[in-house]
Structure 1
Amino acid sequence: MMVSPTLPWTNSPMPPTATIFTKRYSRVALLGLMSIITVFFFFWHAEPLGLAIIPLKPAPNAPQEPLHTDTNNTLPPTFDEWHNYEAKINTLPKSRYIAEGPTLPLIHFSNHAHGSGWGNIMQELLMNAHLAQAAGYGFVFDNYTWSKDMTSPFGIFNGKAIPGRIPLTALVAGPVVGANDQPAVSLPQFTELCNWKGEGLSSFKGEPNPNIYVLESEPLRATIGERGQMEGKDMLYGYVKELTRLKESGVQCVVVKESSLHMWDIWLFGDTHALSLMPYIRNSPVFTQFAWSPLILSLFWDNQAFFRDVRSKSWWEKWFGKEWDSLPAPVDPNHPHPIPIPAQLEAGSTNPPYTLLEGLLALHIRRGDFEEHCANLAAWGSRFNGFNSFPELPDTFTPPDGDDDRKAYAHSRCFPSVQDILQKVTSLRQIRKLDRVYVMSNGSPAFLQELKDELAKLGGWKDGGVRTSRDLTWSRREGKYVAQAMDMYVAQRADVFVGNGFSSLTSNVVLLRMINGVDPITTRHW
């Protein structure tokens, strides 16, 4: 009987052998393919081999998102769940300090800066953490503190209530908060481990504790050099030498006296003396492994359309969409972060050194108090901050002779006009393909709208890609109060960054870009 190659087999109780195998193996192949896809999706959240696996889910009992306890939405969030979670982080077993005796001393800089912007706080924080590590101490990290008034969770800025204390783990990740096997403890842990009850009241198991040493910075600084004249490397060497002496004498817990001078101050950070630190911090885990918290990464994810082409999706995102989010990920029960990192973020977005956001131009434009501040800086003859003065950077600060010319020059570099900004952007687009611009600014709505309109007239922006800090949206109430940190994360990853040479926020970004090996030609100043 002739068999039709196209018609169904109706005259036979069973199809040809070839057809049986074709269908059977098709089913098997389909089942195998679906199994592979299932396994692939289940394990995809792990990093590629050779990279550290980043757990994307929180540890058990950690808040699933940064909640708030106040019901009055006119008040800022209190970060209570973050505080509670951070207090439970156990990065150093207590048994090492109580039952067995310490193998690593701890140092708490109780004189750390407070009541200041995040840029100023962060630069001191990282240097304190590096000093602790260099001297062989565990670093004690504390809140980002605006107000030390413990009777209220709020502080006041420009007549408005703001969070008085933000847990550090809501802002940053990495060794500074004890990640990556680096020794660090929160202040509540330090208080318990060392039985510290305040300066002059230290005790251990009810008895005076001879192992708690209160360090005053002034006499130590005096042995190193004159204020404002000390090289950063000499300060680091002098501090490490003294802390090493204390450690070798058996001191277990060091507290830098709250009322004493900062170990690192504006006289260092505001001068090129800071540059001598670079050979020592360039390879320090505190800097090379510095990362941003999952809260900051989630805020970036909420606004990512401002910073990169979200239409360029991989095939699995095109096929399966946002359900990708809900798939399980490996969980590290000791993971120190209170919310998961957005699952869609690739390794280059979550692990330093970060990948650059191709085509993004980030502009840091200070307004507000800088109008007066810039006038004062010009009158004082100030120069760029230390880490804004790397010789590799193309936009050096070279004021002309003559008092009036010098003041005008300094003011234009500190407080650029809209025309100054347009001129800079135009020149940069002539040498690099830039199709998005993000303006990091505390400027008024009117100023930012004018700037957006003028930038838009330049044309060539993808998706009308001119955005400012005021265009951001926050899926969490906490977002507004950590926005500067997210701005810094974006600037750190920008294809080209233009910052204010007199700003500590800019200098932090510049330093991180230099440490992460970003081409200096792409790090600019007004």
Structure 2
Amino acid sequence: MYLPSRWRLLRPLLALVIIFSFFISYIFLKSRPSYALYNTLADDEIEASRKLIRNTRNSRYVLFRQLQGAGFNNQAQEILLFHHLALLTSRVYVYQPIVWRPRGPNALVPLSAFMQGVTKNSVSVAVFNEACSPEDTKHVKIRVNNKVLWEYTKEVLNGHEKCIVVDDWILNWNFLASSALHDIWHTFQNYLAKHFQWSKEIRSIASRAHSVLELRSNSTNTDGEPYVALHLRRGDFEGHCHSLAEGHAGFTTWATLPALQPSVFPPALDPRNGTSIFEHCYPTLDRILAAIDSQVRSKPHLRTIHVLHDGAWDHPLVYAQHYKLEAALANAARAKRAGWEGGPMRRVTHSGKVPLQWGEADWAVTVDVELARRAEVFVGNGFSSLSTQVVALRLGADGGRPEEITLL
């Protein structure tokens, strides 16, 4: 059959596009845990929940309206606070799946795939109706100001009702950025120390990463090199920072703790000044280097840095910024000018070097959080939920010191 010359020219190009599309789809699907694994975890959650319900007939339960579809650390910080609130009021926490956007806008992943500690002695929402009949369930809405919200919610949950469903979203952005969060910190850091635990998959990958990248996992371990962790938040963050500057937003969640204000790299954040907000939210390379300088001058033995970044196929410029930063960190002349007694950085590792195996991509962001948590020094972004999650784990779960944290 005769084909027009234009079609004969386009056919090889079309074939290449199809082959490339199949290749990208194959890489995407193979890089993530199988749905079979997640189905197994969901079934295990249901089985453990039913066992708990059978063995604790007199338990009281609470189900919260949960944030849906935000980034992992936004969801995680809320889940941890909900779990903490349930424990404070002697209620069984009814947990829900994580909405995992990398798989799709409405993709659900079992919570135990990420945070095993929250699911212990808790109940999956999938069997909530087996524990709580409509007659046993009270629906409440909590409409109070941020200052009294936490204590008022505790009063409501301390009621005698067997099951309570909180229908409104109580831990909204305004509350999480307010000083009301400071009153929670004392009990929350104890909660983290006692109850926080990653899933076994995350713990395994993090241990492998420390070994392969030769990073010392904590101050008492002699294996690997002590290191600085830097959160280089770029990607789509520039537009977000412009919005925050226009709205005169301050730092979020645990970055607002009074104990951390000396950790803010000068000049201090001025929420009334949009330029100040953008400077802290989307810091220049020079500002990032200056913040690293201030930590390394006081700890001249630190000559390894791990950079947490969000470089991806749809954010390729992040890699360019990272390698520009890496070149500056390894520059001997610059290190001398900056007063680094031990010379420049000898090794720079980053998110792209974390030794993920097939089927482990869903856990990449949590492994980076754990690597930053275990670093000797952390340089993070006070507007980022990932950085503030690291801050909470370092200060709360691990009893770390504010002096070992710098907020850009």
* Same-fold call, TM cutoff 0.5: yes
| Other-structure match for 1:214 | 139
Structure 1 position 135 matched with structure 2 position 49: no
Determine the C-alpha separation between the residues in 1 that align with 2:270 and 2:96. 44
Determine the C-alpha separation between the residues in 2 that align with 1:177 and 1:400. 40
| Other-structure match for 1:10 | none
Give the letter for the 1:492 counterpart: R
| Other-structure match for 1:193 | 131
RMSD between superposed Cα atoms in Å: 3.1
Determine the C-alpha separation between the residues in 2 that align with 1:154 and 1:391. 38
Alignment check: 8 A CA contact 1:126 1:287 kept: no
Structure 1 position 117 matched with structure 2 position 67: no
Call closer, same or farther: CA 1:85–1:384 in 2, change over 3 Å.
closer
Shift of 1:381: 2.2
Correspondent of 2:198 among 275, 278, 292:
292
Structure 1 position 85 matched with structure 2 position 41: yes
Structure 1 position 445 matched with structure 2 position 319: yes
Call closer, same or farther: CA 1:213–1:165 in 2, change over 3 Å.
same
Call closer, same or farther: CA 1:142–1:372 in 2, change over 3 Å.
same
Q: Secondary structure at the match of 1:382?
A: coil
Worse overlay, 113-122 or 448-457: 448-457
Call closer, same or farther: CA 1:213–1:87 in 2, change over 3 Å.
farther
Alignment check: 8 A CA contact 1:358 1:494 kept: no
| Other-structure match for 2:61 | 106
Alignment check: 8 A CA contact 2:252 2:382 kept: yes
Alignment check: 8 A CA contact 1:272 1:385 kept: no
| Other-structure match for 1:455 | 329
Q: Secondary structure at the match of 2:70?
A: coil
Determine the C-alpha separation between the residues in 1 that align with 2:297 and 2:366. 30
Structure 1 position 379 matched with structure 2 position 246: yes
Correspondent of 2:187 among 280, 304, 320:
280
Shift of 1:504: 1.3
**Gaps spanning 5+ residues in structure 1: where?**
1-70, 148-152, 157-162, 195-203, 311-344, 350-354
Call closer, same or farther: CA 1:154–1:484 in 2, change over 3 Å.
closer
Structure 1 position 167 matched with structure 2 position 110: yes
| Other-structure match for 2:263 | 395
Q: Secondary structure at the match of 1:509?
A: helix
Determine the C-alpha separation between the residues in 2 that align with 1:133 and 1:273. 19
Deviation per CA, 1:383-410: give whole Å up to 9, x if none. 2123102222223473469x7xx33332
Determine the C-alpha separation between the residues in 1 that align with 2:172 and 2:69. 15
Give the letter for the 1:480 counterpart: A
Shift of 1:461: 7.9
Determine the C-alpha separation between the residues in 2 that align with 1:193 and 1:496. 45
Shift of 1:522: 0.2
Correspondent of 1:242 among 156, 177, 181:
156
Determine the C-alpha separation between the residues in 1 that align with 2:67 and 2:223. 31
Q: Percent identity?
A: 26
Determine the C-alpha separation between the residues in 1 that align with 2:78 and 2:405. 22
Determine the C-alpha separation between the residues in 1 that align with 2:275 and 2:123. 48
Determine the C-alpha separation between the residues in 2 that align with 1:431 and 1:356. 22
Q: Secondary structure at the match of 1:367?
A: coil
Q: Secondary structure at the match of 2:229?
A: strand
Structure 1 position 304 matched with structure 2 position 196: no
Call closer, same or farther: CA 1:357–1:272 in 2, change over 3 Å.
farther
Deviation per CA, 1:149-174: give whole Å up to 9, x if none. xxxx9415xxxxxx822221121222
Determine the C-alpha separation between the residues in 1 that align with 2:405 and 2:130. 44
Determine the C-alpha separation between the residues in 1 that align with 2:270 and 2:383. 18
Structure 1 position 425 matched with structure 2 position 307: no
Call closer, same or farther: CA 1:169–1:430 in 2, change over 3 Å.
same
Give the letter for the 2:180 counterpart: H
**Structure with greater proportional helix content:** 2
| Other-structure match for 1:512 | 393
Shift of 1:79: 3.7
Determine the C-alpha separation between the residues in 1 that align with 2:223 and 2:137. 45
| Other-structure match for 2:315 | none
Deviation per CA, 1:198-246: give whole Å up to 9, x if none. xxxxxx5xxxx4112333x3xx22xx32xxxx22xx322111111222x
| Other-structure match for 2:13 | none
Determine the C-alpha separation between the residues in 2 that align with 1:372 and 1:272. 26
Call closer, same or farther: CA 1:112–1:462 in 2, change over 3 Å.
same
Deviation per CA, 1:88-131: give whole Å up to 9, x if none. 2454564x756x8821112222x211211111101100111011
**Gaps spanning 5+ residues in structure 2: where?**
1-24, 312-317, 336-341
Give the letter for the 1:254 counterpart: I
- TM-score, reference length from structure 1: 0.62
Call closer, same or farther: CA 1:112–1:400 in 2, change over 3 Å.
closer
Alignment check: 8 A CA contact 1:107 1:139 kept: yes
Alignment check: 8 A CA contact 2:330 2:345 kept: no
Alignment check: 8 A CA contact 1:87 1:188 kept: no
Deviation per CA, 1:172-198: give whole Å up to 9, x if none. 222x111xxxx312223434433xxxx
Larger radius of gyration: 1
Count how many residue pairs are aligned between Structure 1 and Structure 2: 362
Determine the C-alpha separation between the residues in 1 that align with 2:248 and 2:283. 17
Determine the C-alpha separation between the residues in 2 that align with 1:413 and 1:306. 33
Alignment check: 8 A CA contact 1:357 1:493 kept: no
Give the letter for the 2:92 counterpart: G
Q: Secondary structure at the match of 1:214?
A: strand
Correspondent of 2:378 among 497, 506, 510:
497
Call closer, same or farther: CA 1:184–1:72 in 2, change over 3 Å.
same
